[in-house]
């Protein structure tokens, strides 16, 4: 089992980082959406981490031709997706498994989606049920709630109007992908806007999507092929956030993170740091599918904060924010965040369980936690096989030595994390 020994950082840093992992959500979508065109898509700065490389392999198993040179990827789709002769392995990725359910629901053939032991335990009925209700044939363990999932593509999916009970970009995207091949206009609504890369990218590829005055996304079925993608994937704000946290908790430190997507549905955690007293500046530079620019984070005194809204806009950053909360003055709270319990690990248990080992005073709730900030003490923590837990506590190590066990999982999203962390010393 791989592990890290992180030593307390006894000096300030002032750095510019341009090597943080590319955006995972956008990279998955680049690989998948290229299948809706009949021309080659050109993707630069594709995330070469386990999750997205698995997605790329699946796209290849479905018949596309892939040329990859480092992080530059060319994807040439086939005129008809082929039935693979093996299972489709999504590894650790909920995004891959759920989006492929929608994409494959109407593709001629039989498909089996599998994943690692963590993914095989994550709930899939949130996509299986609405897809079944429009005619998809999906089954799996626990009546289709757990992988392996078996999909037999049907000829036609019924047009739908669906108001989702869960605010999830993965569910939304799965339903939008299914809608592209339905027999009429489909409508999808969520209570709160979740990350909207799917809508932005598909519109950029010429798909017909618009949100009506009742908040339903109207999706028109494809009339032909979409335009191919030509894109440079921006830096992932969720991965970058670990180094924003590093600057926020290290006295007199500053970081400038380059070329991050500034999509508002992705940078809410930075706004929370700002509310805690940290100086955060967004420098927008361009707009390709979404706004892209640099984020500057400068250390300042940390104060407690309450986080109870726009949860889906910072859901992946909550473990890292719990470290800032633990070092802040006063009592911080997180609520309405029950979704944390169904990520790569139960992130509420994983956060509070490890904070307890670090001597932090907390109360656990079903949908979040309260943290009485003050200090963090040295501990040996387990990642629970979850990349975001491993990286959050590794950054806590800058404040007080930390041993992190089971760090292999970091390769799912941010393979050069440790290299960048080491460069701070």
Ligand X SMILES: C=C(OP(=O)(O)O)C(=O)O
Ligand Y SMILES: O=C(O)C1=C[C@@H](OP(=O)(O)O)[C@@H](O)[C@H](O)C1
The option from ligand X, ligand Y, none interacting with 312 (CB < 5 to 8 A, set by class) reads ligand Y
Site residues, ligand Y (CB under 6 A):
25, 94-95, 168-170, 173, 195, 312, 315-316, 339
* Choice among 196, 316, 386, 406 that is catalytic: 316
Phi (first) and psi of residue 412, to 5 degrees: -65, -30
31 or 226: CB nearest ligand X: 31
The option from ligand X, ligand Y, none interacting with 383 (CB < 5 to 8 A, set by class) reads none
The answer to whether the CB of 101 falls within 8 A of the CB of 139 is no
Cβ neighbours of 330 (radius 10 Å): 14
Closest-CA residue to 410 (of 326, 327, 319, 335): 319
171 or 256: CB nearest ligand X: 171
CB of 138 to ligand Y, least distance (A): 17
Binding ligand X (rule: CB under 6 A), the pick from 187, 195, 266, 343 is 343
The option from ligand X, ligand Y, none interacting with 168 (CB < 5 to 8 A, set by class) reads ligand Y
Question: Which letter does DSSP use for residue 21 in this model?
Answer: P
262 or 318: CB nearest ligand X: 318
Distance linking the first and last C-alpha atoms of the chain: 25
Does 316 qualify as catalytic in the annotation? yes
C-alpha pair distances (Å), 79 with each of 36, 37, 42, 63, 225? 10, 9, 18, 9, 10
Taking every pair of Cα atoms in the chain, the longest distance, rounded to a whole number of angstroms, is: 63
* 170 annotated to a ligand binding site: yes
Binding ligand X (rule: CB under 6 A), the pick from 89, 236, 290, 316 is 316
50 or 199: CB nearest ligand X: 50
Contacting ligand X within 233-262 (CB under 6 A): none
- Partners of 328 in the beta sheet? none
Task: Convert 117-134 to b/e letters by CB count within 10 Å (16 or more is b).
Answer: ebbbebebbbbbbbbeeb
Q: Looking up tokens 């005055």, which residue turns up? A: 213
Phi (first) and psi of residue 19, to 5 degrees: -120, 20
The option from ligand Y, ligand X, none interacting with 169 (CB < 5 to 8 A, set by class) reads ligand Y
CB of 253 to ligand Y, least distance (A): 27
Contacting ligand X within 89-118 (CB under 6 A): 92-95
The option from ligand X, ligand Y, none interacting with 27 (CB < 5 to 8 A, set by class) reads none
CB of 422 to ligand Y, least distance (A): 25
CB of 176 to ligand X, least distance (A): 16
Q: What own/partner pairs with CB < 8 Å and gap ≥ 24 does 374-379 have?
A: 374/326, 374/327, 375/326, 375/327, 375/400, 376/323, 376/326, 376/327, 376/400, 378/402, 379/354, 379/403
Binding ligand X (rule: CB under 6 A), the pick from 344, 368, 390, 420 is 344
Residues that bind ligand X (CB under 6 A): 92-95, 316, 343-344, 388, 413
């Amino acid at each position: 089992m791989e592990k890290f020994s992180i030593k307390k950082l006894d000096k300030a840093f002032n750095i510019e980082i341009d090597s943080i992992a590319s955006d995972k959500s956008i990279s998955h979508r680049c690989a998948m959406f290229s299948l809706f065109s009949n021309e080659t898509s050109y993707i630069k700065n594709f995330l070469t981490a386990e999750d997205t490389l698995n997605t790329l392999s699946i796209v290849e198993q479905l018949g596309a031709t892939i040329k990859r040179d480092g992080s530059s990827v060319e994807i040439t789709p086939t005129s008809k997706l082929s039935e693979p002769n093996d299972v489709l392995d999504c590894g650790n990725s909920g995004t891959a498994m759920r989006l492929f359910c929608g994409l494959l629901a109407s593709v001629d053939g039989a498909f089996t989606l599998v994943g690692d032991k963590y993914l095989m335990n994550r709930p899939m009925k949130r996509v299986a049920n609405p897809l079944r209700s429009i005619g998809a044939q999906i089954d799996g363990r626990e009546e289709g709630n757990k992988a392996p999932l078996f999909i037999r593509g049907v000829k036609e999916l019924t047009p739908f109007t669906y108001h989702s009970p869960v605010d999830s970009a993965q569910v939304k995207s799965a339903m939008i992908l299914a809608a592209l091949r339905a027999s009429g206009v489909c409508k999808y609504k969520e209570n709160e806007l979740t990350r909207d890369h799917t809508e932005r990218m598909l519109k950029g590829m010429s798909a017909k999507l618009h949100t009506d005055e009742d908040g339903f996304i109207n999706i028109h079925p494809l009339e032909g092929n979409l335009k191919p993608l030509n894109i440079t994937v921006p830096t992932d704000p969720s991965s970058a956030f670990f180094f924003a946290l590093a600057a926020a908790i290290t006295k007199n430190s500053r970081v400038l993170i380059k070329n991050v997507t500034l999509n508002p549905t992705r940078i809410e955690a930075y706004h929370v740091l700002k509310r805690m007293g940290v100086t955060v500046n967004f420098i927008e530079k361009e707009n390709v599918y979404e706004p892209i620019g640099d984020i500057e984070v400068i250390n300042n005194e940390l104060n407690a904060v309450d986080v109870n809204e726009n949860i889906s806009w910072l859901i992946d950053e909550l473990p890292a924010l719990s470290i800032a909360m633990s070092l802040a003055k006063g009592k911080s709270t997180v609520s309405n965040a029950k979704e944390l319990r169904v990520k790569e690990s139960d992130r509420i248990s994983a956060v509070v369980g490890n904070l307890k080992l670090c001597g932090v005073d907390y109360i656990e709730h079903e949908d979040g936690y309260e943290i009485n900030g003050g200090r963090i003490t040295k501990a040996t923590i387990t990642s629970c096989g979850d990349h975001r837990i491993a990286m959050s506590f590794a950054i806590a190590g800058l404040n007080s030595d930390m041993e992190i066990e089971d760090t292999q999982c970091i390769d799912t999203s941010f393979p050069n994390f440790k290299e960048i962390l080491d460069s701070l010393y």
